Amino acid sequence: MLTCNIGKKLGGFSLDVNISVEPGVTALLGASGSGKSMTLRCIAGISKPDRGRIELNGVALFDSEKKINLPPQKRNTGFLFQDYALFPNMTVRQNIMAGAKGKTAREKQAAAEELSEAFHIAPHLDKHPVQLSGGEKQRCALARILAGSPDILMLDEPFGALDSHLRWALEIELAETFKRFRKPVLYVSHNRSEIFRLCDNIVIINGGRNEACGDKWGIFKNPATVQAARVTGCKNIAAAQVAGTRVSVPDWGICFEPGDIPNDVDHIGIRANHIIPVSAAKKEDIAVAFPFEIANEIEDTFTYILMVRKQGTDLPVIRWEIPKKDRAALKEMPQELAFLREHILYLKQEGKQ
Amino acid sequence: MDLFPLYNSLRITAIATTAAFALGLLAAYAVLRLPRVVKGICDSILTIPLVLPPTVIGYFILVTLAPRSAFGAKLMEWFSVTITMRWYAAVIAVAIVAFPFVYRTARGAFESFDQNLLDAGRTLGLSEKFIFFRILLPNCKHGIIAGTVIAFARGLGEYGATSMVCGYISGKTATVSTSVAFFWQINREDMAFYWVMINLAVSVVFMVLINIFNQPKVRG
């Protein structure tokens, strides 16, 4: 179990993160430059926070008040760098052996043999990193980290340096590795689908602060903040005015009374794939329906993206995504679009100072 | 033909380059982790021998080590040692002149080295010593070797500081470069020419070496 409550100023940017991580996979999800990687670096001890406390399994790694700042060598954290950081002058075997700290030479040899089997890189043991493919490099880096039996595994955008066709197989392997590891895993990425597939819990990082956190289903269903909605892939977000039970969204030219609304809501969102024609919805589920016109239509790989707005207006467009077969099944364009009650996201603007 | 000056030059330069090599690497590594302003100041001080006329370096060595200087007098009193006007005075002079070549190339190599590899080593629990000798140095070796060869070549041809701190004493402090000047001054043009040719031959060898080590090598 890891708790991390730290602050750090870096030029104009300030990091102020307070998270706790249980065994299982926790994702730090946020835009580039939101402080995800910096948080990992502070936990690993390769960057120093200005204040706060980091504790791993009851041991203080960093405590600004008690002047504790363990060197990275003594923190026993496993850190997978985005470019894997394999030592180019060493073979795969030597790289893995370098990670097997506190063992005799013979035990290190054995660890290299065993881990290279587990990570399917046994045939490459005596090659140098430049001779490996991207996927093999990642496996080698993971084997090297696990050779040292770390107390926590931290991964910084592990698929950032890979071609997309390599990712899938590696992702499945990585999920297996996480399952076997049984200790906390911190996973940094800005790819929401990857995170949804690999992780249990999600912490949203925005502008150096952690916002929403919780299990992945909860976060995707109810992101609660504008930034969380955006990084979980919500394409349509607009400012909303709430008066009593009435919500009006001037940008979309709509007004509705959904019933229960959480407090302090100032934005609403609707995912592009949640928008449906009125004809396809049950009347009692509809929160709001409105006539529309199409401003633009873009063909994507498996969907059509229709940029729509309220009929007869010049308002900003709403992105509506519809599977190709559904688009083909629509004999004629529906008259009205509907947002269902269960699909409307009620959001707060946070991280605005 | 007396080849003592060539032997003396090689001896002086070999010792001086070894010293410059060790000190240059340590200085480059130390400077790497300093805060920016301190780094700039240290960098200027450590690089100054590169831009100073060698005679100024010679002057400073004489001022601190000559028997008439405060420190030189103490050395004389305690150990009965005179440093100036001996061949080893040239070792000090050449080491100072050669130092910035090692220091600057090493610093450049260290700085362009992927810092993530050092951090990765630390999170893997590797000692700073292991990281320096087994990760940083091996991966920077081409730059460092090239810098050291240049330092050696520059040291071999050192004249200004050397002639000030140890003059020209035949068979004692004579070097290849001071020999050229000495024989020219006493109108032995044949001897001056002979030592010029030796200098040229040595220089050609070093240019070839520098080019070999500067060639970027791809592993694998």
User: Which tens digits make up the pLDDT trace of A104-115?
Assistant: 999 999 999 999
Q: How confident is the model at residue B203 (pLDDT cuts 50, 70, 90)?
A: confident
What pLDDT sits at residue B2? 84
**Residue B83 carries which DSSP code?**
-
Lowest mean pLDDT among A87-101, B118-132, B204-218: B204-218
Share of chain A above pLDDT 90, in %: 71
User: What pLDDT score does A333 carry?
Assistant: 77
Please give the pLDDT value at position A236: 95
In the sheet with A236-239, reading across from the earlier edge strand, the strands are A236-239, A267-270, A345-347
Indicate the residue of A73, A81, A83 with minimum beta-carbon distance to B125: A73
Q: Is B124 on the interface with A (CB under 8 A)?
A: yes
Interface residues on A facing B, Cβ-Cβ cutoff 8 A: 41, 44-46, 71-79, 81, 83, 85, 87-89, 98-99, 101-102, 128, 130-131, 144-145, 148
Residues B181-192 have pLDDT tens digits of 999 999 999 999
CA A269 – CA A249 distance, rounded (Å):
10
Contacts 24+ apart (CB under 8 A), A118-121: A118/A143, A119/A143, A119/A173, A121/A92
Where along chain B do its domains lie?
A: 4-112+141-214
Q: What is the 3-state secondary structure (H, E, C) of B176-214?
A: HHHHHHHHHHCCCHHHHHHHHHHHHHHHHHHHHHHHHHH
For residue B150, the surrounding DSSP H or E stretch is: helix B141-156
- The pairing of beta strand A2-10 with beta strand A59-63: unpaired
The distance in angstroms from the start CA to the end CA of chain B is 49
| Tens-digit pLDDT profile for residues B81-105 | 888 889 999 999 999 999 999 999 9
Whether residues B122 and A76 touch (CB distance < 8 A) is answered with: no
Output the pLDDT for position B217.
56
Q: Would you say residue A353 has pLDDT above 70?
A: no
- End-to-end CA separation in angstroms for chain A: 32
What is the ipTM metric for this complex? 0.84
Mind listing the pLDDT tens digit for each residue in A204-227?
998 899 887 889 999 999 998 898
pLDDT at position B71, please? 87
The second-level CATH assignment, the architecture, of A2-222 is: 3-Layer(aba) Sandwich (3.40)
Distances from the Cα of A53 to the Cα of A62, A63, A77, A214, A256, angstroms: 5, 4, 16, 22, 46
Domain-by-domain residue ranges, chain A? Answer: 2-222, 234-347
Provide the pLDDT confidence category of residue B75 given band limits of 50, 70 and 90. Answer: confident
Would you state the pLDDT for residue B32?
87
Query: Is B122 close to A85, i.e. CB distance below 8 A?
Result: no
Is the CB of B125 less than 8 angstroms away from the CB of A131?
no
CA distance A121 to chain B (A): 17
Residue B155 near residue B98, CB atoms below 8 Å: yes
Q: Which residues of B touch A85 (CB under 8 A)?
A: 114, 116-117, 119-120
Predicted pLDDT of residue A243: 87
Binned at pLDDT 50, 70 and 90, residue B162 comes out as: very high
- For residues B115-134, b (16+ Cβ closer than 10 Å) or e, as one string? ebbbbbbbbbbbeeeebbeb
Q: How far apart are CA B83 and CA A222, in angstroms?
A: 81
The phi, psi pair for A162, rounded to 5°, reads -115, 150
Alpha carbon distance A7, A71 (integer Å): 18
Select the residue of B117, B123, B125 nearest A87 (Cβ to Cβ).
B117
Are residues A46 and B123, on separate chains, in Cβ contact within 8 Å? yes
| pLDDT for A39 beyond 80 | yes
Give the model's confidence band at B47: pLDDT under 50 very low, under 70 low, under 90 confident, else very high.
very high
At B74, the pLDDT band (50, 70, 90 cuts) reads: confident
Q: What is the pLDDT of residues B6-27, one digit of tens each?
A: 999 999 999 999 999 999 999 9
What is the predicted pLDDT for the residue at A53?
A: 96
Q: What does the pLDDT read at residue B83?
A: 86
Identify the top-confidence range among A41-50, A283-292, A331-340. A41-50
pLDDT digits (tens, 9 = 90+) for A229-264: 998 999 999 999 998 889 999 999 999 988 788 888
Q: How far is B69 from B14, CA to CA, in rounded Å?
A: 28
**Helix, coil or strand: residue A339:** strand
Q: What percent of chain B has pLDDT over 70?
A: 96
DSSP state of A70: -
**Selection from A98, A145, A84, A140 nearest residue A117 by Cα:** A140
Query: What pLDDT, on the 0 to 100 scale, is given for residue B1?
Result: 66
Confidence category of residue A77, pLDDT binned at 50, 70, 90: very high
What's the confidence (pLDDT) of residue B220? Answer: 40
- pLDDT for position B218: 52
Predicted local distance difference test score (pLDDT) of residue A153:
96
Average pLDDT value for chain B: 91
* Angle between helical axes of B141-156 and B189-214 (0-180°, round to 10): 170
Superfamily holding B4-112+141-214:
MetI-like (1.10.3720.10)
